[in-house]
Copies of this chain bind each other. A is one copy, B any other.
Amino acid sequence: MQRIPAEVDTPDVLIDRDVLERNVERMAAAVRERGLQLRPHAKTHKVPEIAALQLAAGAAGLTVATLGEAEVFAAHGAGDLFVAYPLWVGPRQAERLRRLSAAARISVGVDSAEAAAAMGGQLGDAAEDIAVLVEIDSGHHRSGVHPDAAADVARAAARAGLRVEGVFTFPGHSYAPGMPVEAAAQEQQALDRAAGQLEAAGFAVRRRSGGSTPSALLTDSTAATEVRPGVYVFGDAQQLELGRCALEDIALTVAATVVSRHEGGTADGDGVPRRVVLDAGSKVLGSDRPAWATGYGRLMDHPDARITALSEHHATVVWPADAPLPALGERLRVIPNHVCLTMNLVDDVAVVRGGTLLERWTVAARGRNS
């Protein structure tokens, strides 16, 4: 099953165009059916061509993580951008926000009175051009305030001259086996409670924003107005092992070559595993490995092989005892554990259909960490 175009040198990132389009359309339809708006997280792909597909399928806007990502997508014509992050705004960030708000509708996150005051103070008269959503902790315990503290932050934002538009949360604890349903329920309760607090304090709550990829389709319009999944465009080994996508939904793989091959046992010494080594390591796959994962990614055409170790340019793959080891030089496709990291490691990607290379897309927002 050779589906790696001959022109591709390994390691390289392959995007299956048909699967990508199907993923984009399916999520758009499913979210629409639930009466929600879709604001996909563009940090996953960082590619203007993919953002254009999402917007054409009806996305209300894009979510980004940094001002740098917002600048890239605004320059490519995105008209509505949500920086879903508790920004700390100094003079340079304020100037960038002013320029961004001249090009697109901009909303940002805030999770403290101090950050709201700093942002409003730095923006001055431009504060009214920036909408803010108060970030709520719905159980992930990263950033975000308790729902009962949301009104205090909203009041501080209003005092700072910012336009309070609603609340948002990221149910990151949905990325664990058995957690999506519980995390989605906590997400909805937290949004509901925080929105109630804001309304009681006199704010009109226009946006209640939630939804990781695992929880997006478990969210409904009783508590949220929009969802922000990102990974769904490609799928990855984490989503696969969580049961949130199937093998045929995987749109992104890393093409790799078998560079070392060891039958193990007597010839190699005691305790030496039967394995192959691929030329795709942590510098292209990323090294996220949740405790519950089977390894550092999966092989597309060999579901029982296990990636037991990853170094920068090597993936060590322990092979099923009953299957022949692949040959040296053979090219295999690896499904990374976390596609957001993979896309941030390459300057461009190969867009393929079947075994044919269609074109290359530039990862325009790669490395825009600030």
Q: Which residues of A contact B (CB under 8 A)?
A: 9-12, 43, 65-66, 85-88, 90, 92-93, 111-112, 114-115, 118, 135, 137, 141-146, 149, 172, 257-262, 267-269, 272-273, 275, 277, 279, 282-284, 286-288, 309, 311-314, 316, 327-329, 340-341, 344-347, 367, 369-370
Contact = CB atoms under 8 A, between A and B. Distances in A.
Contacts of A43: 312-313
Contacts of A260: 86, 111-112, 135, 142-144
Given A142-B309, A260-B143, A341-B287, A115 B328 contact: yes
Given A143-B259, A313-B369, 7 more contacts: A88-B259, A88-B279, A115-B329, A137-B272, A142-B314, A143-B314, A282-B341
Nearest to A66: B313
Contacts of A66: 313
Contact of A112 (B261, B269, B273, B275): B261
24 contacts: A9-B92, A10-B370, A43-B312, A85-B279, A86-B277, A112-B261, A114-B328, A137-B272, A141-B272, A141-B273, A142-B277, A142-B309, A145-B262, A145-B268, A146-B268, A146-B272, A282-B286, A283-B341, A283-B344, A287-B288, A312-B340, A313-B369, A344-B345, A345-B367
A328 B90 CA distance: 12
- Residue of A118, A142, A275 most packed against chain B (CB within 10 A): A142
- Residue of A88, A93, A172 most packed against chain B (CB within 10 A): A88
B367 A11 contact: no
Contact of A142 (B85, B267, B286, B316): B316
B277 A282 contact: no
Given A92-B9, A149-B267, A259-B115, A283 B143 contact: no
- Residue of A279, A286, A369 most packed against chain B (CB within 10 A): A369
A40 to B, nearest CB: 15
Nearest to A117: B328
Contacts of A146: 267-269, 272
A311 B142 contact: yes
Classify the interface of chain A: helix, strand, loop or mixed: loop
Contacts of A87: 259
A241 B118 CA distance: 37
A3 to B, nearest CB: 18
Contacts of A288: 282, 287
A268 B137 contact: yes
A12 to B, nearest CB: 7
Nearest to A327: B114
Contacts of A316: 141-142
A302 to B, nearest CB: 18
B257 A88 contact: yes
Nearest to A118: B329
A149 B309 CA distance: 23
A215 to B, nearest CB: 15
A115 B327 CA distance: 11
* Shortest 3 CB-CB contacts between residues of A and residues of B: A143-B260, A114-B328, A65-B313
A11 B259 contact: no
- Residue of A172, A286, A346 most packed against chain B (CB within 10 A): A286
